[in-house]
């Protein structure tokens, strides 16, 4: 720490110049996290940057806005009218999942105690495609993780049938992922629930479901309104989502809701007095900024249901365009949002390159996402078997490196346990990925794949790639 | 990347809604079917939020409420950056690591070790990570010895902020609360802690800056007693220091106070960037004296953002902006600036303490009592060096004096809180922690935004309220206010 300080303007300039070197978020196709809000939202954020959400006495209006967000989300996720939905803002989906998991663990412990049974060996079941937060929950909270290996055939997600063998009397619950980070697929909440109903009828075990809707819970209500994944499924006790992914808020916001307050054990709710009045808190974090919550409400009012729907449609449309361009050339696309529900085939309207660029994908009947397999606007792809046969020297990670040289961040990583011999390239199609940028991306991806096809100058590229610092 | 690029990427979303129309907001609990233009939404929310309190008069909170213009500019420019995405935002990550280094230096991390740490959402997460690391180390050593590891406990004073109890309850660790003593400022006496420690104890948390009275618990003494305990019984109990407020005051105001990594038994320390770190809400820090204290099981390797990265926080995605704002403060203030602010806060707190102690109140905090004599310094412009006084936070904890209560038995102390609220001030009144819980405490946190002028106003108002409750018609105020 410097002994003596710098004037504000100098400190600002120094840090401003340094941080300008950070990447341009527009070309970051690896991240699900949102990076743009309208100017008025920015203004509101600045005005409320100094407000602490936990201080309800001091900032009651911010507290009210928080509670209204909970109501709106509860309504969006079809919370039962006769229950009392309860929830909270969090720092992100990690904290939200941990609270959901903790509530399930607590309920299970209490039930075991009542039955006079051992309650020191809880376990939780979810797919090997889970984002790290789920494993963190298990490891940090001393719950045994039982990972269900995924299947390549069903899009690298957990098959509910496979989950059953991992469940026993120590299972606190099953987490079903609405929007796998690997391929964007939705796991089947309804099927999992049905199988658990049957399990209960057979064995008496009553296993609840928590839905990890980090991304999917802000896509499905708008794009797939008839898909039953939310509180319409009675076995779903809690849902988490990220405000800062498809909730379209800056980093720093998540949400978790329970279908009814009875699912949040009172032991997890703390009463405190030290700010001057009695308050209740049931989050991991105490102080938290009010600004992201206000920004979320800004979005709810500024976009409305219709606006979120338009954006989801647009993202899915762009993702379909990319999927089709890739699937018809050098790649195999592993995500499914471009395959029609009825036929499993790609939409017939654009198998040739030219039609993709000629007039944009038409916005009429083919634009309805419900005609296609539901999922996130994510394109997961790999080099096709044909390409690999013809170009055995090409490593898929070079696609990532060479796209990086063009400014794009497109990650390449191993598929989850159950399909580990496969590598996946993934593009997350967010609101900021416009049609123009999408076209550029398609041209660049195809360009890179072609340039790697047995060109004699290729061996020179490798040392060049490793010397370049990004 | 400039956030100021005004391309409205949503021009096709609200076209059908006229710009000076009315906000489409049928009911407050359901998402509106259609959206409304940004400007209307801004005004609606802006007006609703104007009803929120003025943070400058909030004397209940420790959390910082003001940053200067350039810091806010930087905040906004970096609002969209996600700290976990170090591939994408390497500079933000680098600034984060530089903060860790600077804080490590401030807390005298040993040169020969490799200090490790992370930004968090606040002190709650930071304490949980510290506690979790202690729990893990304890579990591993118990497993190695073939002993039971399902019944961990942790020891701390009953004056602990709720985050410590949350840690215990959420992570299935038994909380062993040491009742505090009124005589020593309602903090944990290290001698009292010993009886609660056994082979299942994962550690002791010592609080540098109790939220009740601002007092510092004695880290050095706790460590010495634990050294004795280890000699006697073989139990090696580590210390985590909860420096939520104190860790950004002590280094500047009390540089010779040994509470940090200079005490070898201290394995980890947490603090809030958003209290005396002087950043807006949303930032905490936790550091371990050496990476060996953070078990590798708690560190997760992940690949899904495009490169291999390690994470050991509860939260994954987190905003980079608060961390950059923290660095702004480090550069803009430097050690000297933080010291000046700490001195000023403590000075104002002493003034308030002296006035109150001389009138209708008994002051329970101690930063105005001289170390040598335990007397109260007698004038406004007394000795400004905090080290001449008992160390503590710039907090004034007070209650109605016994004399006042005898003479005015009808007066309830919470009326002071209510009447001050009427005048705009938030001064909380609450019960002292277990061990002294027949006492009620009024507390003022003296933050940077409580300057001399406001302090005079506050003093006048407090005395005004106390005297009006006595049924006096005109308040008579001490001469030294003028």
Residue A316 has pLDDT above 50, yes or no: yes
Chain B residues lying within 8 Å of A267, measured CB to CB: 169
**Residues B16-33: tens digit of each pLDDT:** 455 556 676 667 778 888
A–B CB contacts, 8 A cutoff, strictly below: 386
Nearest CA-CA distance, residue B395 and chain A, Å: 13
Cα B458 from Cα B158, distance rounded (Å): 30
State the best of A132, A285, A422, A428 to mutate against chain B, taking most chain B CBs within 10 Å. A285
Contact across the interface for B30 and A242, Cβ inside 8 Å: no
Of B48, B95, B105, Cβ closest to residue A1: B105
What confidence tier does A57 reach under pLDDT thresholds 50, 70, 90?
A: confident
Contact criterion met (CB below 8 Å) for B319 and B88: no
Q: At what angle do helices A435-451 and A291-327 cross, to 10 degrees?
A: 50
Chain A residues lying within 8 Å of B169, measured CB to CB: 267-268, 270
Residue B51 has pLDDT above 80, yes or no: no
Contact across the interface for A12 and B42, Cβ inside 8 Å: no
**Residues A176-218: tens digit of each pLDDT:** 999 999 999 999 999 999 999 999 999 999 999 999 999 999 9
Cα B378 from Cα B385, distance rounded (Å): 15
Instruction: Identify which of B130, B173, B133, B179 has the alpha carbon closest to the alpha carbon of residue B154.
Output: B173
**Residues A269-310: tens digit of each pLDDT:** 888 766 666 777 788 888 889 999 999 999 999 999 999 999
pLDDT given for residue A372 in this prediction: 95
Partner B contacted by A328 (CB < 8 A)? no
Contact across the interface for A22 and B89, Cβ inside 8 Å: yes
Chain B residues lying within 8 Å of A400, measured CB to CB: 306
Q: State the complex-level ipTM.
A: 0.84
Contact across the interface for B125 and A287, Cβ inside 8 Å: no
Chain B residues lying within 8 Å of A413, measured CB to CB: 303-304, 306
Partner A contacted by B3 (CB < 8 A)? yes
Average pLDDT over residues B301-324: 79
Residue A443 φ then ψ, to 5°: -60, -45
Partner B contacted by A69 (CB < 8 A)? no
What's the Cα-to-Cα distance from B353 to each of A387, B183, B349, B380, B395, rounded to whole Å? 79, 17, 6, 11, 9
Cα A321 from Cα A299, distance rounded (Å): 27
pLDDT given for residue B103 in this prediction: 96
Average pLDDT over residues B143-171: 94
Closest residue of A to B52, CA-based? A59
Chain A residues lying within 8 Å of B132, measured CB to CB: 140
State the best of A276, A290, A404 to mutate against chain B, taking most chain B CBs within 10 Å. A276
Of A51, A272, A432, Cβ closest to residue B162: A272
Angle (CA) A380-A384-A389 rounded to 5° is: 150
Instruction: Identify which of B215, B176, B219, B179 has the alpha carbon closest to the alpha carbon of residue B198.
Output: B176
Nearest CA-CA distance, residue A382 and chain B, Å: 15
Nearest CA-CA distance, residue B96 and chain A, Å: 12
Residue B62 has pLDDT above 80, yes or no: yes
Partner B contacted by A47 (CB < 8 A)? yes
pLDDT given for residue A237 in this prediction: 98
**Residues B102-131: tens digit of each pLDDT:** 999 999 999 888 899 999 999 999 999 999
What confidence tier does A123 reach under pLDDT thresholds 50, 70, 90?
A: very high
**Residues A376-427: tens digit of each pLDDT:** 999 999 999 999 999 999 999 999 999 988 889 899 988 888 888 899 999 9
User: Bridge partners of A289?
Assistant: A52
Residue B137 has pLDDT above 70, yes or no: yes
Contact across the interface for A4 and B334, Cβ inside 8 Å: yes
Residue A278 CB neighbour total at 10 angstroms: 11
User: Bridge partners of A383?
Assistant: A331
Q: Please, which residues 294-313 of chain A have a Cβ atom closer than 8 Å to chain B? A: 294, 297-298, 300-307, 310-311
pLDDT given for residue B303 in this prediction: 66
Give domain B72-326's CATH architecture. 3-Layer(aba) Sandwich (3.40)
Residue A263 has pLDDT above 50, yes or no: yes
DSSP state of B194: G
* Cα dihedral value B304, B308, B314, B317, nearest 10: -50
Contact across the interface for B314 and A98, Cβ inside 8 Å: yes
Partner B contacted by A469 (CB < 8 A)? no
Nearest CA-CA distance, residue B379 and chain A, Å: 30
Cα B392 from Cα B245, distance rounded (Å): 10
Mean pLDDT of chain B, nearest integer:
88
Average pLDDT over residues A38-63: 89
Chain A residues lying within 8 Å of B124, measured CB to CB: 284-287
Mean pLDDT of chain A, nearest integer:
88
Cα B81 from Cα A21, distance rounded (Å): 12
Chain B residues lying within 8 Å of A92, measured CB to CB: 315-318
Contact criterion met (CB below 8 Å) for A264 and A103: yes
Question: Which is more confidently placed, A442 or B24?
Answer: A442
Percent over 70 (pLDDT), chain B: 90
Strand-strand pairing, B395-400 and B440-445: antiparallel
Residue B13 has pLDDT above 80, yes or no: no
Question: Which is more confidently placed, A464 or A213?
Answer: A213
Average pLDDT over residues A55-78: 91
Nearest CA-CA distance, residue A7 and chain B, Å: 6
pLDDT given for residue B3 in this prediction: 38
Instruction: Identify which of A137, A141, A62 has the alpha carbon closest to the alpha carbon of residue A93.
Output: A137
Instruction: Identify which of B23, B49, B37 has the alpha carbon closest to the alpha carbon of residue A303.
Output: B37
Q: Please, which residues 47-86 of chain B have a Cβ atom closer than 8 Å to chain A? A: 48-53, 55, 58, 60-61, 63-83, 85
What confidence tier does A366 reach under pLDDT thresholds 50, 70, 90?
A: confident
What confidence tier does B2 reach under pLDDT thresholds 50, 70, 90?
A: very low
Partner B contacted by A411 (CB < 8 A)? yes
Q: What is the CATH number of domain B336-481?
A: 3.90.1150.160
Q: Where are the domains of chain B?
A: 72-326, 336-481
Nearest CA-CA distance, residue A201 and chain B, Å: 32
- Weakest mean pLDDT among A103-107, A364-368, B84-88, B295-299: A364-368
Chain B residues lying within 8 Å of A104, measured CB to CB: none
State the best of A252, A270, A417, A426 to mutate against chain B, taking most chain B CBs within 10 Å. A252
DSSP string, B264-329: TTEEEEEEETTTTT---SS-EEEEESSGGGS-GGG-EEE-TTSS-EEE-SS-SS-BSHHHHHHHHH
Contact across the interface for B122 and A60, Cβ inside 8 Å: no
Of A75, A181, A400, Cβ closest to residue B30: A75
User: Bridge partners of B206?
Assistant: B241
Contact across the interface for B162 and A19, Cβ inside 8 Å: no
Residues 6+ apart with CB under 8 A from A343: none
Partner B contacted by A34 (CB < 8 A)? yes
Question: Which is more confidently placed, B196 or A132?
Answer: B196
Average pLDDT over residues A347-359: 43
Percent over 90 (pLDDT), chain A: 65
- Weakest mean pLDDT among A446-455, B25-34, B204-213, B229-238: B25-34
Q: Please, which residues 156-195 of chain A have a Cβ atom closer than 8 Å to chain B? A: 181-182
pLDDT given for residue B301 in this prediction: 79
**Residues B375-394: tens digit of each pLDDT:** 665 545 567 899 999 999 99
């Amino acid at each position: 720490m410097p002994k003596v300080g710098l004037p504000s303007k100098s400190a600002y300039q120094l840090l401003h110049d340094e941080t300008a070197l950070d990447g341009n978020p527009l070309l970051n196709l690896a991240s699900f996290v949102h990076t743009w809000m309208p100017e008025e939202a920015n203004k509101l954020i600045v005005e409320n940057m100094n407000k602490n959400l936990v201080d309800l006495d001091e900032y009651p209006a911010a507290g009210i806005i928080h509670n209204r967000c909970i109501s709106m989300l509860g309504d969006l996720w079809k919370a039962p009218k006769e229950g009392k939905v309860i929830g909270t803002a969090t720092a992100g989906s990690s904290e939200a999942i941990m609270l959901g998991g903790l509530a399930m663990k607590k309920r299970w412990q209490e039930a075991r105690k009542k039955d006079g049974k051992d309650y020191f060996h809880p376990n939780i079941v979810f797919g090997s495609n889970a984002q790290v937060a789920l494993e963190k929950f298990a490891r940090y909270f001393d719950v045994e993780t039982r990972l269900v290996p995924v299947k390549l055939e069903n899009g690298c997600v957990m098959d509910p049938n496979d989950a059953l063998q991992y469940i026993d009397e120590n299972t606190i619950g099953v987490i079903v992922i609405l929007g796998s980070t690997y391929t964007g697929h939705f796991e089947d909440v309804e099927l999992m629930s049905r199988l658990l109903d049957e399990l209960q009828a057979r064995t008496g075990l009553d296993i609840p479901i928590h839905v990890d809707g980090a991304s999917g819970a802000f896509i499905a209500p708008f794009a797939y309104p008839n898909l039953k994944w939310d509180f319409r499924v009675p076995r779903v006790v809690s849902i988490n989502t990220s405000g800062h992914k498809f909730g379209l808020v800056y980093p720093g916001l998540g949400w978790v809701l329970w279908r009814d307050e009875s699912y949040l054990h009172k032991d997890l709710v703390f009463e405190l007095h030290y700010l001057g009045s009695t308050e209740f808190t049931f989050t991991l974090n105490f102080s938290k900024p009010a600004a992201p919550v206000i920004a979320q409400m800004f979005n709810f009012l500024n976009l409305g249901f219709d606006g979120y729907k338009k954006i989801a449609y647009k993202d899915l449309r762009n993702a379909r365009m990319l999927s089709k361009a890739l699937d018809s050339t050098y790649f195999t696309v592993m995500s499914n949002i471009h395959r029609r529900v009825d036929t499993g085939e790609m939409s017939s309207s654009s198998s040739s390159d030219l039609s993709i660029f000629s007039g944009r994908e038409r916005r009429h009947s083919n634009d309805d996402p419900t005609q296609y397999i539901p999922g996130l606007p994510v394109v997961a792809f790999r080099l096709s078997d044909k390409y690999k046969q013809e170009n055995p020297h090409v490593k898929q990670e070079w696609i990532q490196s060479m796209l990086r040289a063009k400014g794009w961040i497109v990650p390449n990583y191993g598929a989850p346990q159950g399909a580990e011999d496969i590598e996946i390239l993934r593009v997350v199609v967010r609101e900021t990925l416009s049609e123009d940028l999408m076209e550029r991306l398609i041209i660049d991806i195809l360009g890179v794949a072609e340039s790697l096809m047995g060109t004699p100058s290729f061996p020179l590229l490798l040392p060049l790639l490793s010397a370049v610092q990004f | 990347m400039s956030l100021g690029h005004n391309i409205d990427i949503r021009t096709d979303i609200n076209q059908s809604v006229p710009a000076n129309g009315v906000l489409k907001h049928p009911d407050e609990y359901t998402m509106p079917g259609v959206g409304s233009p940004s400007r209307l939404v801004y005004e609606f929310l802006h007006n609703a939020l104007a009803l929120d309190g003025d943070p400058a008069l909030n004397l209940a909170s420790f959390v910082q409420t003001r940053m200067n213009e350039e810091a806010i500019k930087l905040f906004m420019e970096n609002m969209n950056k996600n700290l976990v995405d170090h591939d994408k935002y390497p500079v933000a990550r680098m600034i984060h690591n530089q903060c860790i280094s600077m804080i490590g230096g401030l807390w005298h991390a040993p040169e020969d070790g490799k200090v490790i740490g992370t930004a968090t959402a606040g002190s709650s997460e930071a304490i949980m990570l510290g506690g979790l690391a202690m729990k893990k180390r304890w579990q591993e050593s118990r497993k190695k010895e073939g002993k039971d590891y399902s019944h961990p406990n942790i020891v701390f004073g009953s004056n602990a902020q709720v985050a410590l109890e949350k840690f215990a309850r959420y992570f299935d660790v038994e909380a062993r609360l040491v009742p505090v003593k009124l005589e020593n400022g309602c903090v944990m006496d290290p001698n009292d802690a010993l009886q609660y420690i056994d082979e299942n104890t994962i550690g002791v948390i010592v609080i540098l800056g109790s939220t009740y009275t601002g007092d510092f618990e004695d880290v050095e003494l706790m460590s010495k007693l634990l050294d004795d305990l280890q000699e006697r019984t073989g139990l090696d109990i580590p210390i985590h220091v909860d420096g939520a407020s104190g860790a950004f005051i002590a280094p500047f105001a009390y540089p010779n106070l040994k509470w940090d990594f200079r005490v070898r038994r201290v394995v980890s320390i947490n603090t809030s960037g958003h209290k005396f770190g002087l950043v807006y809400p949303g930032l905490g820090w936790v550091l371990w004296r050496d990476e060996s204290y953070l078990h590798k099981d708690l560190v997760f390797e992940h690949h899904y953002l495009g490169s291999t990265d390690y994470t050991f926080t509860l939260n994954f995605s987190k905003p980079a902006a608060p961390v950059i704002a923290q660095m702004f403060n480090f550069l803009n203030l430097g050690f000297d600036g933080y010291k000046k602010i700490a001195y000023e806060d403590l000075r104002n707190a002493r003034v308030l303490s002296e006035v109150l102690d001389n009138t209708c109140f008994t002051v329970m905090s101690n930063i105005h009592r001289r170390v040598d004599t335990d007397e109260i310094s007698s004038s406004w412009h007394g000795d400004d060096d905090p080290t001449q006084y008992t160390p503590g936070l710039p907090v004034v904890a007070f209650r109605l004096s016994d004399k006042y209560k005898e003479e005015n038995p009808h007066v309830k102390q919470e009326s002071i809180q209510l009447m001050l609220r009427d005048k705009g001030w938030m001064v909380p009144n609450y019960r002292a922690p277990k061990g002294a819980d027949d006492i009620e405490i009024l507390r003022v946190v003296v933050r940077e935004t409580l300057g001399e002028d406001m302090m005079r106003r506050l003093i006048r108002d407090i005395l005004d309220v106390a005297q009006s409750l006595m049924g006096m018609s005109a308040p008579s105020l001490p001469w030294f206010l003028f």
